[in-house]
Structure 1
Amino acid sequence: MLYGICNLSIVPVRAEESDKSEMISQILFGEHFQIIEKTKNWSKIRISFDNFEGYIDNKQYLEITEDFYNSIENSTLTFSGEILDFVTSENNDLTTIAIGSQLPKFSIGNLRLGSYNYKYENTVFDKKLSKPEILKIAFTYLNSPYLWGGKTPFGIDCSGFTQMVYKLSGYKLPRDAKEQAKQGEVLSFIEESEPGDLAFFDNEEGEIIHVGIVLNDYNIIHAHGKVRIDTLDHSGIFNADLQKHTHKLRVIKKMI
């Protein structure tokens, strides 16, 4: 088995071995993964954090040893906390990073990617947070444009949004909404929910296709066109701009 780590800001994860293939997710700086298959130009990877699989360009990652991979697995995960920031290499080269980038082997401003050392000097997230603190992180992404497969404030999808908010808060969620819906405790009524719980929505076939984070006063923050706040009722999400319901409520779940 081979192992890798992302040494660039944001790298697209694609459904197939082609730059023209659909972007199904992204890996951010510092994220580590297993390399399941490697061809001349592409690698099929399994991301450590959520076991999500897809293809990335061989030019867009750094191979690491199994020992280094395992050392990250056995350490506390630390993530960058600024919407946009940078890390500095030993040669004083700057690499721009987005919020939620991983800082492997982080200690007193220092981090390491394989044999390469970097410095990062600003806010980090490395602890489990309370629900009120989770909401503060969620608001950080407000007005971020919707992007299928995206995981940053510069483009994010609905499940990427909930996953990243919970990730920065110290909790693991799967990548896709339908998989996230398999976790947590089912709540029978909206009235039982608390800010920070997740609401899931389905289509006419009953498939979970959307997710958002419950707020106070029957509101929800979710990625639809952009990360926005709408009204949540027993039917689903009511969009005041469109004056109609846009999503049909399936279930609300308490994750923590």
Structure 2
Amino acid sequence: MFYGICNLSIVAVRFEASEKSEMVTQLLFGEHFTILEKHKNWSKIKIFSDGYEGFVDNKQFEEITEDYFTKLSTSEPIYSGEIIDFISDSNNDFTTIPIGSRLPFFFKNEFTINTKRYIYDGKVYSEKLPKKEIIQKAFIFLNTPFLWGGKTPFGIDCSGFTQIVYKLCGYQLLRDAKNQATQGEVLSFIEESEPGDLAFFDNENGEITHVGIILKDYHIIHAFGKVRIDTLDHSGIFNAELQKHTHKLRVIKKMI
């Protein structure tokens, strides 16, 4: 078995082993994974944090030992807290990192990947935060453009948005909306929900395809064209600009 870690700022994870293939998610700096299949130019991986699978370019990650992988998997994660920042190595080379990047074994502004030492002096998140912080973190991403498979302030999809917001607050969600909908506790009515709960929406075939974070006063923040705030009612999401419902409500879940 082989293992790897993302040592670049943002790396595309694709459906197939090709640069032309659909991006299904992204690796952020410091995210580690199991290598399921290793080919000449591409590797099929399984991301440790959410179990998501896809293909990455072999030039865009670094291999790690099983021992390093195990220690990292059992350590408390520490994430960068600035929208965009940089790390420097011993050669004084800089690498930009987006918010939510993992800093392996971070201590006193330093961490290492294999034998390479990095320095980071920005804000970090390292513990479970109160539920009210979910809303504060969600607003960081307001007006971020929609990007299928994205999970950064430079492009994000609906479930990538909810996943990264919860991650910054110390809680792990699965990657896709339909999978996130299997987590948490079902609420019967909108009136039972609190800011920070998740609302899920389905398509004409009954498949859950969208998710957003409930705000106070019957509003929701979600990624649809961009991360935006709309009205939430018992039918779904009402878009005032379009003067119509854009998503049909399926279920509300309390995650924490």
**TM-score normalised over the length of structure 1:** 0.99
Match of 1:30 in 2: 30
Deviates more, 1:105-114 or 1:3-12: 105-114
**Aligned pairs for 1:40-55 within 5 A:** 40-55=40-55
Instruction: Tell me the matched-pair count.
Output: 256
**Aligned pairs for 1:91-240 within 5 A:** 91-240=91-240
Amino acid at match of 1:129: L
CA–CA distance in structure 1, aligned partners of residues 29 and 81 of structure 2: 13
Name the SS of the counterpart of 2:112 in structure 1: strand
Task: Describe the superposition over 1:57-104 as per-residue Cα deviations: whole angstroms up to 9, x where unpaired.
Answer: 000000011111111112110000000000111111000000001101
Task: Describe the superposition over 1:123-178 as per-residue Cα deviations: whole angstroms up to 9, x where unpaired.
Answer: 10111011111110000000000000001000000000000000111011000000
Amino acid at match of 1:171: Y
Please, which runs of 5 or more residues in structure 1 have no aligned partner? none
* Cα distance, 1:236 vs structure 2: 0.2
Name the SS of the counterpart of 2:138 in structure 1: helix
User: Structure 1 residue runs of 4+, over 2 Å off?
Assistant: none
Match of 2:2 in 1: 2
* Cα distance, 1:114 vs structure 2: 1.5
* Cα distance, 1:8 vs structure 2: 0.4
Q: Percent identity?
A: 69
* Cα distance, 1:12 vs structure 2: 0.1
* Cα distance, 1:227 vs structure 2: 0.3
Match of 1:247 in 2: 247
* Cα distance, 1:184 vs structure 2: 0.5
Amino acid at match of 2:230: D
**TM-score normalised over the length of structure 2:** 0.99
Amino acid at match of 1:142: L
Please, which runs of 5 or more residues in structure 2 have no aligned partner? none
Name the SS of the counterpart of 1:26 in structure 2: strand
CA–CA distance in structure 2, aligned partners of residues 143 and 77 of structure 1: 27
* Cα distance, 1:250 vs structure 2: 0.2
CA–CA distance in structure 1, aligned partners of residues 105 and 91 of structure 2: 19
Deviates more, 1:107-116 or 1:5-14: 107-116
Let me know the Cα RMSD of the aligned residues.
0.5
